[in-house]
Structure 1
């Protein structure tokens, strides 16, 4: 099959799967939680969701992308990756339990947050097996199964009011599907010869992804602690469409990384320029769509937040679009620049965002968070492009048969 047609087909399958999953979250799961729990309780739940999203997605993506990128340099087994996952998950679970013990949250909820964190991390990592095999039709089925799990969970939630039920069902079914139909179950508990090499490569990526998702979810933490839980709900609603795009970028960029690391090709500066142009134009087009879609979406699904959202949606959505464009370009840079550069960029990005967010939110309220997001992501986009153009083009070594 023609390469371009196959790539377009795989990209479309991935986009459809992620769209179904995120569509269910944004149009069914979160609105139902908001309607049932009320504004204050919903704001608190978003705070907890933010905590386990930071740790689990960062871990899952870092281990998956390390396996994708480094498989051409040395042989990597499933045991190397899963052992790294379990070690970091143990550390994260203790840290999460300590952090939440200072909050007004029940012991059962703390345990369930840790369980969801583990399931989400493994589910996110498990996506790598579909990308390595270029099996994107099965990847679509995987996302459909996860979505069905979330919908089943929200139905159960209506009868018991435990907010974590949809997450347990959705993430749990996703992990189960991957264990049944991929090599994820193959000797997952034992590291092999490449464990040290793999850990050395994965750690900088783990730090960089942790910083990225920390910043991506830090708006909830800062707003909750400075302005209160209701501000979390209104700001999150304004960012929903833009953040959905950012969530879609991670698996879609995985398709690109999978193809870029699947042969002996390299991305030269001319191709990088073309990719940047397409990414920026796509981001601007999506920005226009968010300005049209956000008021309609909010009016239908979150009418209580409608007036607040109208005041901040322009800057909020601009910041979110800058976020997903810079993340897409940075992930492509990862395929031909050293992993340390991603970590360096994310450290600079996180430091600037945290300083600006705290100062601006204290000074001008919710709008300050939107300004901080736009400025920090604009800088990250610039740094990613500069690093991409710096130095010589990198020829990837030939793939090792696994």
Structure 2
């Protein structure tokens, strides 16, 4: 079991790193060279908005299905999730329409259609891949992400031909969805509600609110920067976080593997957890040093226009990101052994601290102050997750 657990983590790390590397180190730098600095900043904000709307919905459906799968499978009633998936899609479209109507974005009809397709396909893909997690089929996830990455590469060629950056994302996501259609049956499940729908829906709402609020910090940092400091500052800040964010997203699948296994376990001792946490802490410290050391070389190659300014805040943004990674290691345990209400409390208080800190520090210290606001809020979230874990229902 231990060997398989380690194997699954390594496979999942490789699986998640491929599309991230393709997007962040290949696609985004190419887009940056093709677009003006102002347009590139707007594109980053739009991508953040799409991810902010779709990811919490798809990821929460994924986690709720994983947590409740044993119960539903016992009674052979799983239709609630398909209903939630379709309902979430309509909700996502409604939110997105309001964003581009009231957000003041000048978006052409073709771009709106393409971005809506990205929104829905990304949401459903993030949910449908739960079948791989339920079956602990992390090799299937790897194949899916290889195809996702290959689709991004195809999309880069289509972007040069069409001029629409959305094609890059859409090509990858649709190719990954085709693999899901061919490899799973989850998308064929019936569309209706069972007697357990109310309870499941309540848990979904709680976890969604918590996930949305937490992701507001992860993605709204760039959205909030746009009105505060303008699109070029968005590009500089994005550049300063790119290496750390890649490593953050690579390490985050560890939480997915942990939660997949925890749904089959009855408990965990503090001693065992802290042994694992100590290993993670040492790994994060090495990762932080590596990120700070490698960033000047990587950023000067990929983003020479913004590298100098970005490197001024790299120490702060990288620290904030790695603290966030450590927090994510507590989350699957708190999801499994504590009430979901705690996720809402943690996310609300963390978002509040982030917004207040950003509004107080940014006007006086610019990007430096904004980066410190992120560090403060992420540190608070880490401490909160840690305390809740210690008082878990054993």
Is 1:198 the counterpart of 2:200? The answer is yes
C-alpha deviation, 1:280, in angstroms: 2.3
Superposition RMSD in Å: 1.6
Pick the aligned partner of 1:7 from 5, 8, 33. 5
Pairing 1:348-363 to 2, within 5 Å after superposition: 348-363=349-364
2:213 aligned residue: 211
Distance in 2 of aligned mates of 1:126 and 1:353: 32
C-alpha deviation, 1:289, in angstroms: 1.2
Pairing 1:89-238 to 2, within 5 Å after superposition: 89-101=89-101, 102-238=104-240
SS in 1 for 2:291: helix
1:288 aligned residue: 289
1:78–1:184 contact (8 Å) kept in structure 2 = no
2:128–2:187 contact (8 Å) kept in structure 1 = no
C-alpha deviation, 1:117, in angstroms: 1.1
SS in 2 for 1:134: coil
SS in 2 for 1:304: coil
2:87 aligned residue: 87
C-alpha deviation, 1:77, in angstroms: 4.9
Pairing 1:38-57 to 2, within 5 Å after superposition: 38-57=36-55
1:78–1:186 contact (8 Å) kept in structure 2 = no
1:267–1:336 contact (8 Å) kept in structure 2 = no
C-alpha deviation, 1:111, in angstroms: 2.6
Is 1:384 the counterpart of 2:382? The answer is no
1:249–1:328 contact (8 Å) kept in structure 2 = no
Which segments of 5 or more consecutive residues in structure 2 lack a partner in the other structure?
Answer: none
Q: Tell me: CA distance 1:87–1:392, structure 2 relative to 1, closer, same or farther (3 Å).
A: closer
1:201–1:339 contact (8 Å) kept in structure 2 = yes
2:327–2:382 contact (8 Å) kept in structure 1 = yes
1:269 aligned residue: 270
Q: Tell me: CA distance 1:88–1:103, structure 2 relative to 1, closer, same or farther (3 Å).
A: same
2:67 aligned residue: 69
SS in 2 for 1:377: helix
C-alpha deviation, 1:96, in angstroms: 1.1
SS in 2 for 1:190: coil
Tell which deviates more after alignment, 190-199 or 304-313. Answer: 190-199
SS in 1 for 2:336: coil
1:396 aligned residue: none
Q: CA offsets per residue over residues 177-197 of structure 1, 9 Å max, x none? A: 112211222225333343222
Distance in 2 of aligned mates of 1:193 and 1:226: 48
Q: TM-score scaled to structure 1, two decimals?
A: 0.93
C-alpha deviation, 1:242, in angstroms: 1.3
Q: CA offsets per residue over residues 376-399 of structure 1, 9 Å max, x none? A: 010100000100011441xxxxxx
Is 1:370 the counterpart of 2:374? The answer is no
Q: Tell me: CA distance 1:86–1:376, structure 2 relative to 1, closer, same or farther (3 Å).
A: same
C-alpha deviation, 1:279, in angstroms: 2.7
Distance in 1 of aligned mates of 2:179 and 2:393: 42
C-alpha deviation, 1:354, in angstroms: 1.3
Distance in 1 of aligned mates of 2:370 and 2:332: 25
Tell which deviates more after alignment, 86-95 or 223-232. Answer: 86-95
Q: CA offsets per residue over residues 30-52 of structure 1, 9 Å max, x none? A: 11111111321111000000001
Q: CA offsets per residue over residues 312-339 of structure 1, 9 Å max, x none? A: 1100111111112112222332111111
Which segments of 5 or more consecutive residues in structure 1 lack a partner in the other structure?
Answer: 394-402
Q: Tell me: CA distance 1:77–1:46, structure 2 relative to 1, closer, same or farther (3 Å).
A: farther
1:130–1:136 contact (8 Å) kept in structure 2 = yes
Pairing 1:278-357 to 2, within 5 Å after superposition: 278-357=279-358
Q: Tell me: CA distance 1:302–1:66, structure 2 relative to 1, closer, same or farther (3 Å).
A: same
2:337–2:392 contact (8 Å) kept in structure 1 = no
Q: Tell me: CA distance 1:237–1:78, structure 2 relative to 1, closer, same or farther (3 Å).
A: farther
2:31 aligned residue: 33
Q: Give the total of aligned pairs.
A: 390
Tell which deviates more after alignment, 30-39 or 106-115. Answer: 106-115
Distance in 2 of aligned mates of 1:180 and 1:260: 28
C-alpha deviation, 1:73, in angstroms: 4.4
